Amino acid sequence: MDPRRTARTVSDPKVRQVGFFTPAPPERSISDPPRFQDPIQPPSPSSTQVNDQSPSGNSLSPVMIPPAHHHSDNFLRTALQATSPPKAFSYSAKTVTIPPENEDVASSFSPGRKVVSAKSPSSFPGVKASSVPASELTTVSVVNLPPGISEKAGGASVEVQNDRPVSAKTLKEKTSKAERRALQEAQRAAKAAAKAEGTKASSAASKVVTSANTKPSKATKPSSQKNDGSQVAASEKKGGDRAPEKDRKKDAPHPRMQYDDKSRVEKAKKRAVVKQTEARNRVELFRHLPQYEHGTQLPDLETKFFELDPMHPAVYKVGLQYLSGDIRGGNARCIAMFQAFKEAIKDYSTPPEKTLIRDLTARISSYVSFLIECRPLSISMGNAIKFLKNRIAKLPLALSESEAKSTLMLDIDRFINEKIILSEKVIVKHAVTKIRDGDVLLTYGASSVVEMILLHAHELGKHFRVVVVDSRPKLEGQLLLRRLVRKGLSCTYTHVNAVSCIMQDVTRVFLGASSVLSNGTVYSRVGTACVAMVAQAFRVPVLVCCEAYKFHERVQLDSICFNELGNPDAISKVQGREEINYLDGFVNQENLQLLNLIYDATPSDYVSMVITDYGMIPPTSVPVIVREYRRDHLWS
């Protein structure tokens, strides 16, 4: 008996035990490397509490976004303004002059336009469809203003002032004392006038007074108003199309935002790109997690397709795919994100008067916050983003733009190749040594690494059997099963409910992970903990395969404080079976709450070994990897 474990469960009733704890887990009897004494998780309850605080306190979340750099805002905006005319000019460069024979028609164009129709006789020769000639394009209408600055900037000034406290503030700073005074007076007079309006009927005398009063105000008002208008318009113009992006980035929701905090949620909603209506019935314990009405986000985001100007198409596409569930799995999501970022960097050009390092970081941050709105980031993606931002920040200043871009793109490629693909290969190499002839291997869900291990072992000619355990509603195991069976592996497929029955035959359990936290907790697909616990009870070794880039220094004891909520409809309905509709009409009932969790946390007690690119380690050694890995690689 492990004295540590029994002490913890018996002598400390105050610790909330969430997740899976068998009362007195039997000692494991496996031939794997011996377990190290956990350095950061001593059994005393006091230190457990300390650990408990750390995730919300000082530990950095993986998707932390550095604050925005605002120091040179105005300057840069003016620069933007200054550069726009050439763009309009380039439009007019396309224009053609009127040929003389066309004058009568062309005169119907408004005079003074640079643009007129051109008529080329060559555009009309044959009517035969097969040899349709190339027709000429004629510019008939141009946009003289740069895009983003609408012509109604002046007219909309009042709204702008209301909407944007920021611009109002700059206005306040800019007005001189006299102007402020005039403004104040005008406001006072207006107030008085409004008051008088109400009492107009009652007394004529007061009317005289107010009319006398309003006169000067009227005199001052237009001037101040005009001032407002022009200034706000000017600041609006300066804002240009960069302003919304900046705002969004500045207020990018904290990744660990507590969604039961109403005021913060309201604020976050205002700046959100994706309109999200929150689900009404949420389970009490999970109110702090974002939960939206599924099905409302996608159409809304789709309609805004062309309106999200600052978003790069590749990033947008990935966001859509996250939202609709077309891309799943930590590695795939990470690769898709990085490929989109690579595209974005390829098309990126530094705006004048800006430095690539700062502007690109801001740009990437805005992309990331968009992706978060589509689906919360996984820890692996958080680490990857950290890596990329670090690479951008470490770029030498002397580098030219094209060099910097190609360096970054190479870095991204390197990350994908080294941290994901190569490490998967190394993991496979390690893990295959643990598979012997006659083994029965159990896996849960669909993990890309586990799949490769199984396929590789099969290619090596090992004889083993695979049990694929699956769960509703996503049934990812079926896809894995399909690929395995096709390759000729002998498989058994069952659902997680039957895991205790099937576990008797199993000799090894291979699990994938979304992340491994520094106390050895494995954060993975919901149900993993259950499988690991059953395996532990049957004294079957549990091997978790996880790339080192998914490790995180956070400590998490339960799966409540950090998790993701899926679509509750997915569990209340059975796809393809319309007749199972017992919950129809109940979904919005006050006293029914549906909970579809995506992840859970497996305590390190149930994990025999973590297989990573640095070798096979006990879960207690994860902090070492986190520490070393970062120093050597991530921050290099």
Partner 1 sequence: MDFQVVVLAGGNSKNLTPLVSKELPKPLLPVANCPVLNYVLHQLEQSNLKDLIVVVEGEDAALLVGAWISGTFIDRLHVEIAAVPEDIGTAGALRAISHHLTAKDILVVSGDLVSDVPPGALAATHRRHDAAVTTMLCSIPVSGPLESGSSGGKDKAKKLGRYNIIGLDPSKQFLLHIATEIEKDARISKRILHAVGQMEMRSDLMDAHMYAFKRSVLQEVLDVKDTFQSLKEDVLPYLVRSQLKSEALLNRTPQGEENSTEKVSSQNNQAFISRILANASTPSFHGIYSENPDGSSSTRKTHKCCVYIASSSSYCVRLNSIQAFMDINRDVTGDADHLLSPNNIIGPSPKLGTKTTVGPNCRLGEGSEMGDKCQVKRSIIGRHCRIGSHVKVVNSVVMNHVTIGDGCIIQGSVICSNVQLQERVELKDCQVGAGFVVTAGSEYKAESLAKKEK
Site for partner 1 in 296-325 (CB under 8 A): 299, 301-309, 313, 316-317, 320-321, 324-325
- Which stretch, 61-69, 377-385, 482-490, 605-613, contacts partner 1 (CB under 8 A)? 482-490
Contact 238, 160 (CB under 8 A): no
What secondary structure letter does DSSP report for 544?
E
Q: Does 217 bind partner 1 (CB under 8 A)?
A: no
Candidate list 115, 193, 265, 571; residue touching partner 1; CB under 8 A: 115
Q: Does 295 bind partner 1 (CB under 8 A)?
A: no
Q: How far is the CB of 262 from partner 1 (least distance, A)?
A: 31
Judged by beta carbon, residue 136 or residue 401, the one nearer partner 1 is: 136
Count of residues that interact with partner 1, criterion CB under 8 A:
72
Candidate list 22, 48, 139, 214; residue touching partner 1; CB under 8 A: 139
- Which stretch, 173-181, 189-197, 330-338, 615-623, contacts partner 1 (CB under 8 A)? 330-338
Q: Coil, helix or strand for 444? A: strand
Between CA 317 and CA 331 the distance in angstroms is 17
Contact 217, 190 (CB under 8 A): yes
The site string for partner 1 over 143-162 (x = CB under 8 A, - otherwise) reads: xxx-x---x-----------
Judged by beta carbon, residue 39 or residue 295, the one nearer partner 1 is: 295
Q: Does 534 bind partner 1 (CB under 8 A)?
A: no
Judged by beta carbon, residue 450 or residue 533, the one nearer partner 1 is: 450
- Which stretch, 22-30, 112-120, 512-520, 539-547, contacts partner 1 (CB under 8 A)? 112-120
The site string for partner 1 over 345-384 (x = CB under 8 A, - otherwise) reads: ----------------------------------------
Q: Does 490 bind partner 1 (CB under 8 A)?
A: no
Q: Does 483 bind partner 1 (CB under 8 A)?
A: yes
What six digits make up the tokens of 291? 């939960």
Q: Coil, helix or strand for 60? A: coil
What six digits make up the tokens of 49? 């509490």
Between CA 123 and CA 101 the distance in angstroms is 16
Q: How far is the CB of 118 from partner 1 (least distance, A)?
A: 10
Q: Coil, helix or strand for 460? A: coil
Judged by beta carbon, residue 305 or residue 586, the one nearer partner 1 is: 305
Q: How far is the CB of 472 from partner 1 (least distance, A)?
A: 15
Contact 429, 454 (CB under 8 A): no
Contact 431, 512 (CB under 8 A): no
Closest Cα to residue 401, out of 362, 363, 347, 365? 347
Between CA 469 and CA 494 the distance in angstroms is 5
- Which stretch, 10-18, 116-124, 461-469, 493-501, contacts partner 1 (CB under 8 A)? 116-124
For residue 597, the cross-strand partners are 565
What letter represents residue 584's amino acid? D
- Alpha-carbon torsion, ordered 180, 185, 191, 192, to 10 deg: 170
Judged by beta carbon, residue 207 or residue 304, the one nearer partner 1 is: 304
Neighbours of 265 (CB within 10 A): 15
Helix locations, 326-447, DSSP H: 330-346, 356-374, 379-393, 401-414, 423-432
The site string for partner 1 over 16-55 (x = CB under 8 A, - otherwise) reads: ----------------------------------------
Q: How far is the CB of 589 from partner 1 (least distance, A)?
A: 26
Angle at alpha carbon of residue 592, lines to 590 and 598, rounded to 5°: 125
Q: How far is the CB of 378 from partner 1 (least distance, A)?
A: 12
Q: Does 14 bind partner 1 (CB under 8 A)?
A: no
Closest Cα to residue 511, out of 545, 535, 467? 545
Angle at alpha carbon of residue 416, lines to 410 and 417, rounded to 5°: 85
What are the two backbone dihedrals, phi and then psi, of residue 92, each rounded to the nearest 5 degrees? -70, -15
Candidate list 18, 64, 166, 327; residue touching partner 1; CB under 8 A: 327
What six digits make up the tokens of 431? 């893990």
Between CA 380 and CA 188 the distance in angstroms is 58
Judged by beta carbon, residue 253 or residue 329, the one nearer partner 1 is: 329
Judged by beta carbon, residue 488 or residue 585, the one nearer partner 1 is: 488
Q: Which of residues 85-104 bind partner 1 (CB under 8 A)?
A: 91, 94
Q: Does 574 bind partner 1 (CB under 8 A)?
A: no
Parallel, antiparallel, or unpaired for β 490-495 and 522-525? unpaired
Judged by beta carbon, residue 135 or residue 187, the one nearer partner 1 is: 135
Judged by beta carbon, residue 420 or residue 442, the one nearer partner 1 is: 420
Q: Does 578 bind partner 1 (CB under 8 A)?
A: no
Q: Does 254 bind partner 1 (CB under 8 A)?
A: no
What six digits make up the tokens of 75? 């300057």
Neighbours of 449 (CB within 10 A): 25
Between CA 452 and CA 459 the distance in angstroms is 10
Candidate list 60, 93, 137, 580; residue touching partner 1; CB under 8 A: 137
Q: How far is the CB of 222 from partner 1 (least distance, A)?
A: 27
Q: Does 493 bind partner 1 (CB under 8 A)?
A: no
Q: Does 130 bind partner 1 (CB under 8 A)?
A: yes
Q: Does 585 bind partner 1 (CB under 8 A)?
A: no
Strands (E), 436-559: 439-444, 464-470, 490-495, 508-512, 515-517, 522-525, 542-545, 551-552
The site string for partner 1 over 52-91 (x = CB under 8 A, - otherwise) reads: ---------------------------------------x
What are the two backbone dihedrals, phi and then psi, of residue 601, each rounded to the nearest 5 degrees? -115, 125
Between CA 45 and CA 43 the distance in angstroms is 6
Q: Does 1 bind partner 1 (CB under 8 A)?
A: no
Judged by beta carbon, residue 45 or residue 148, the one nearer partner 1 is: 148
What secondary structure letter does DSSP report for 600?
E
Contact 556, 433 (CB under 8 A): no
Q: Does 134 bind partner 1 (CB under 8 A)?
A: yes
Q: Which of residues 418-457 bind partner 1 (CB under 8 A)?
A: 420-421, 446, 448, 451
